[in-house]
Amino acid sequence: MSNDFAQFQDAFFEEAAEHLAVVEEGLLELERHPEDLDLLNKVFRSAHSIKGTAGMFGFNAVAQFTHKMETLLDLLRNGQKAVTPSIADLLLKSTDCLKTLIESVKTGAAVDEETVQRLTMDLASASAADSQPSGTSEKKKDGAPVPGRGITRTYSICWTPPDWLFQRGLDPLQIMKELRCLGNLTKVSLDVSRLPHLADIDPEQCYFSWELQLITEKDRQVIDSVFEFVREDSELSIELIETTSEPPTASISAIPTVESDGPKPIGQILVESGVVSTGVLDQALAQQKRVGEILVEQKAVTPQQLEQALQKQRQQESTAQAKKTDTASIRVDTAKIDKLINLVGELVITQSMLSDLGTRFEMNQLHVLLERVAQLERNTREIQERVMSIRMLPIGTAFSRFPRLVRDLSAKTGKKIQLVLSGEETELDKTVIESIGDPLTHLIRNSADHGLEPPEERLDNNKPELGTIRLNAFHEGGSICITVEDDGRGLNRTKILSKAVKQRLISENEKLTDEQIWSLIFKPGFSTADKITDVSGRGVGMDVVKRNLEALGGTVSIKTAPGKGTTFTLKLPLTLAIIEGMTVRIGRETYIVPLLSILESIQPTREAVKTVVGKGELINVRGTFLSMVRLYDVFNLQPEHTDPAKSILLILETEGERVAVMVDEILGQQQVVIKSMEQNFRKVEGIAGATILGDGTVGFILDVRGLLEIARREIAMAA
């Protein structure tokens, strides 16, 4: 595949993702406002765009499935059908299926052909006159639908495809598959009379014709829609030759090649092999469990071990996906590009002025030199800000997935839930946006399952049946805050303490503040759920939230009130490429400490420093003893001071733990550009990355988590 064609395909996948988001968002809104014609037209246009571009690239399965959706949407916008809950649900399920089809084209992932065929049949049924999607179509053993005991029609179909059929990557056998979804194909004859002499055959031309006979309950409009995508330049006749009220007595497939080319389900293979009976298989399928869940129930593994394995699996999938995807891309507002180009022009002018001044510089022109250097500094700083803004996207791109999530959670939990979004226009670094999806998903699921009460309980507490989850984003200083708020029952202090004691996370008589109690829900394996559901209960969600946020350099806090609800506040850096840091000196070396990790700095007295057997060096900070780390020992440096009373101690915190780090001097605060140590050198314990300082030297950025691990190791050695 040429690079140009690959680039065009990448553009298709990006645009398809945007159109799918529009379709899903529009369908969710249509459930609330089914009479909104503008919304219907918007959804239809996006589906039509996907169909057209998919056909152009030869993605036949995507184009034909989208065409089925488009047909139903066209009936809705023309007023021939009404937007009912069942139709909206069918279109949302079809959107999910379309996402899977596009992903399979992009990555080569497997597709559930049975689901595709079932939804194709339901879409055709919903598009037929005086019909609604059944969702539970009766099927024969081989997967084709069985006509019911209504009116059965026999159609004779003659079809001569257009010459360009193969040029566009279309497969005539797909037409046969769709017809089989509508009934029984009792006759399929291939006409090759148009086939020229072998020397005159053009491999890109179609010379074949087909004569088909179909027995079905569907009317002609449904059959006609099957050929809609290949109607142009086709010769097609569909004649009704027989009508009967009795069901057909035979089901004959004239061409075995029309069968699904996907592998059979493992359960079907086991039944056909005689290993298990159909009844045993049905019981197993009814459990809807995965291997990991069964292992947890059998106590072969712990929930924590299962979550670690799943995390590893997700990382492997991400790595494999990254290898398949050539490059990541981002859409940028042209206004941002224009401003950047103007700034580069100013930078070139300033550089030209400096070069000219350098060729004829005299000391009486020093003030001119300083002015132009200051101008260069301003241009450089503004260019840096503009370049960083290119990576900034509205956080609404991350929020867009949650209306569908809340809708599905509402159906699963039997609760009435509305999601209120605000601050979607707040901009955040693209990398951070991509990383906060999972934490926000866990928090919203937690609010829906644990936080909000069932409708009857809310009515008993003088609350409206409809529970509310609010998702808000806003800037605060140099960070961004995201709040997930619900108006549910709030956190149960007694229940959390009881579970924590039962799981031996705390002792029975231990005294904890409210903040310490709320933080217990972030412990691995902790859950207050009375029973395990497919929404929550295994204690593998909230610890993921905390771990992922801290990996981004962020924090999470909780505010709750019994009977009124709970608010989770996520605080994140605007970008991962630049951080606010405190520059410190140890001897002649300079290090940067992330500002978010610094609680305070102190100069201790000699009496505050203690050496405890089994604990190492400790510092007394207002009655609390913290481990003390001498950075010059960690990095083998020659310090200016070895006496803590003459040094500065930085109190750092991460994941709720604190450590005191000893440095010689605090130089000041500044923004630093992070460079990876692993990519440019190798991993160094206690170092998160590096940057280039103003004097051109390399400054190392401290890893607070790594320093805590070093402190623990020193304590273990002292013991």
Long-range CB contacts for residues 187-190, cutoff 8 Å, separation at least 24: 187/211, 187/212, 187/213, 187/254, 188/212, 188/213, 188/254, 188/255, 188/258, 189/254
- Go through 162-191 and write b for each residue having 16 or more CB atoms within 10 A of its CB, e for each that does not: beebbebebeeebbbbbbbbbbbbbebeee
Query: 202-216, 329-343, 586-600, 702-716: lowest mean pLDDT where?
Result: 702-716
More confidently predicted of 490 and 513: 490
CA dihedral of 594, 599, 600, 606, whole degrees rounded to 10: -110
Q: Give the model's pLDDT for residue 39.
A: 87
Residue 469 has pLDDT above 90, yes or no: yes
Cα separation, 673 vs 579, in Å, equals 7
Q: Give the model's pLDDT for residue 258.
A: 37
Q: Give the model's pLDDT for residue 333.
A: 76
Task: Express each pLDDT in 573-606 by its tens digit.
Answer: 777 667 778 999 999 889 999 887 888 999 988 8
Give the mean pLDDT of the chain.
Answer: 78
Q: Give the model's pLDDT for residue 470.
A: 94
400 — alpha (psi -120 to 50), left (phi > 0) or beta?
alpha
Under CATH, to which class is 139-254 assigned? alpha beta
More confidently predicted of 673 and 601: 601
Name the pLDDT band for 319 (thresholds 50, 70, 90). Answer: low
Of 628, 712, 624, 621, the residue nearest 663 (C-alpha): 628
Q: Give the model's pLDDT for residue 421.
A: 92
Question: Mean pLDDT across the stretch 630-645?
Answer: 88
**Hey, how many other C-beta atoms are within 10 angstroms of the C-beta on 601?**
16
CA R_g for the chain: 33
Q: Give the model's pLDDT for residue 484.
A: 93
Domain 578-718 = CATH 2.40.50.180: yes
Task: Express each pLDDT in 373-403 by its tens digit.
Answer: 888 888 888 887 788 778 788 888 888 889 9
Cα separation, 699 vs 584, in Å, equals 10
The domain covering 394-573 belongs, at the CATH homologous superfamily level, to Histidine kinase-like ATPase, C-terminal domain (3.30.565.10)
More confidently predicted of 692 and 467: 467
More confidently predicted of 332 and 7: 332
- Asked whether the whole model's pTM tops 0.75, one would answer no
Question: Mean pLDDT across the stretch 160-179?
Answer: 75
Half-sphere exposure of 577 (CA within 13 A, CB side): 12
Cα separation, 93 vs 114, in Å, equals 14
More confidently predicted of 295 and 615: 615
Give the tokens for residue 353. 């002025």
> What is the residue extent of each domain of the chain?
1-137, 139-254, 277-324, 334-390, 394-573, 578-718
Q: Which DSSP symbol is given to 301?
A: S
**Hey, how many other C-beta atoms are within 10 angstroms of the C-beta on 434?**
13
Question: Mean pLDDT across the stretch 256-261?
Answer: 38
Cα separation, 349 vs 358, in Å, equals 14
Q: Give the model's pLDDT for residue 357.
A: 84
Q: Give the model's pLDDT for residue 129.
A: 55
- Strand positions, DSSP E, 416-496: 417-422, 427-429, 467-476, 479-486
Q: Give the model's pLDDT for residue 566.
A: 92
Question: Mean pLDDT across the stretch 254-263?
Answer: 39
DSSP letters spanning 553-618? T-EEEEEEETTTEEEEEEEEES-SSEEEEEEEEETTEEEEEEGGGEEEEE---GGGEEEETTTEEE
Residue 656 has pLDDT above 70, yes or no: no
Question: Mean pLDDT across the stretch 685-695?
Answer: 82
Q: Is the distance from CB of 57 to CB of 50 less than 8 angstroms?
A: no
Q: What is the largest CA-CA distance in the chain?
A: 107
Give the tokens for residue 579. 């951080």
Q: Give the model's pLDDT for residue 299.
A: 67
Cα separation, 624 vs 513, in Å, equals 15
Cα separation, 245 vs 149, in Å, equals 7
Q: What HEC string does 319-347 produce?
A: HHHHHHCCCCCCCCCHHHHHHHHHHHHHH
Residue 48 has pLDDT above 70, yes or no: yes
Q: What HEC string does 618-666 produce?
A: EEEECCEEEEEEEHHHHCCCCCCCCCHHHCEEEEEEECCEEEEEEECEE
Task: Express each pLDDT in 56-115 by its tens digit.
Answer: 777 888 888 888 888 888 888 888 888 888 898 899 999 999 999 998 888 888 888 888
Whole-Å CA distances, 690 to 593, 680, 681: 11, 10, 10
Task: Express each pLDDT in 345-371 by its tens digit.
Answer: 888 888 888 888 888 888 888 888 888
Q: Give the model's pLDDT for residue 665.
A: 92
Name the pLDDT band for 649 (thresholds 50, 70, 90). Answer: very high
Q: Give the model's pLDDT for residue 702.
A: 87
Whole-Å CA distances, 543 to 53, 425, 548: 42, 29, 9
Half-sphere exposure of 41 (CA within 13 A, CB side): 4
Which percentage of the chain shows pLDDT scores above 90? 9
Query: 129-143, 233-247, 548-562: lowest mean pLDDT where?
Result: 129-143
Q: Which CATH architecture has domain 1-137?
A: Up-down Bundle (1.20)
Helix axes 85-107, 303-324, angle to 10 degrees: 60
Q: Give the model's pLDDT for residue 146.
A: 42
Quick check: helix, strand or coil at residue 469?
A: strand
